[in-house]
Copies of this chain bind each other. A is one copy, B any other.
Amino acid sequence: MNKAALEKLLDQYKNNQIDKSNVIKKLKTLPFENLDFAKVDHHRSLRTGYPEVIFCQGKKDIHIKKIYLSLINQNQNQNLLLTRANVSIFEMLFEIDQRLIYNELAKTISLHISKKRKKGLVLIISAGTADIPVADEAAETANICGANIEKIYDVGVAGIHRLTAYYEKIQEARAIVAVAGMEGALPSVVGGMAKCPVIAVPTSVGYGAHIDGLAPLLTMLNSCSSNITVVNIDNGFGAGFNASLINNRDN
């Protein structure tokens, strides 16, 4: 029931075409999403600059194509982000729409139309070169969400002087994404240097007692830096999205 239907119902009631008990009965099961604010939900991406996002992992190519076309048909000019997309998905969609850009490391496909920038800075810091795919997913996400981003890569804690060199940049950021596999100690150190919230992303980069990322995940959850929150292993998207939410607020 959309707003029009609701207005019609009220008209019918006022015109005595439906009695009060039946109006109440219909309102009882009034679907949340059919009111005005639900429409707002549908159009939220346009108004706020946040893109529609498709998580490709585990979806069939034909499935992804359909969702893509449906979103494009709704609105030609909204930003779109596809995550965990391999190159064959990109090629399939690129045939349809040459505006798409692929980040092979991040495995993201972007349709980046609305490029209005928010003030502030989201910093993406990563520990090892093998963590770059996750860091780049965070960067692509924060970028298409409208945040200015800068990347500081390969600054793991085993050579702490590499990180301390960026002290002033770290002070400047509104939100930081800190990505690390192995022992995952980077966010703790970054957190101690930063004034803003740090979103820690453990990666599955490691072996042995690393247990596919559980080791750095636990590291980050137990951080003694106060300004750290954590997302799931390899969840660069979630980190980038939250960082942009923190950065982009204007009021």
What is the interface of chain A, defined by CB distance below 8 A to chain B?
Answer: 3, 6-7, 10-11, 13-14, 20, 23-25, 27-38, 41, 44, 48, 53, 57-59, 63, 119-120, 127-130, 156-165, 167-168, 174, 182-185, 188-189, 191-193, 195-197, 199, 202, 204-235, 237-239, 241-242, 245-246, 249, 251
Q: Which of B162, B183, B223, B249 contacts A224 (CB 8 A)?
A: B183
Contact indicator A158/B230 (Cβ below 8 Å): no
On chain B, the residues within 8 Å of A58 by CB distance are 130, 205
Known: A229-B229, A245-B197. A214 touches B209 (CB 8 A): yes
A34 to B63, CA, bound (A): 40
Contact indicator B3/A24 (Cβ below 8 Å): yes
Known: A183-B223, A196-B245, A245-B196. A207 touches B229 (CB 8 A): no
Contact indicator B232/A221 (Cβ below 8 Å): yes
The smallest beta-carbon distance between A184 and chain B, in angstroms, is: 7
Known: A129-B63, A189-B189. A222 touches B249 (CB 8 A): no
Contact indicator B215/A227 (Cβ below 8 Å): no
Q: Which of B59, B159, B224, B227 contacts A245 (CB 8 A)?
A: B227
Closest B residue to A199 by beta carbon equals B229
The smallest beta-carbon distance between A241 and chain B, in angstroms, is: 5
A213 to B210, CA, bound (A): 11
Contact indicator B221/A216 (Cβ below 8 Å): no
Q: Which of B27, B29, B53, B63 contacts A27 (CB 8 A)?
A: B27
Contact indicator A10/B38 (Cβ below 8 Å): no
A227 to B44, CA, bound (A): 14
A72 to B27, CA, bound (A): 32
The smallest beta-carbon distance between A144 and chain B, in angstroms, is: 13
Contact indicator A35/B31 (Cβ below 8 Å): no
Known: A224-B127, A227-B242, A229-B242. A188 touches B36 (CB 8 A): no
The smallest beta-carbon distance between A126 and chain B, in angstroms, is: 13
Closest B residue to A31 by beta carbon equals B165
A182 to B223, CA, bound (A): 6
A234 to B209, CA, bound (A): 10
Closest B residue to A58 by beta carbon equals B130
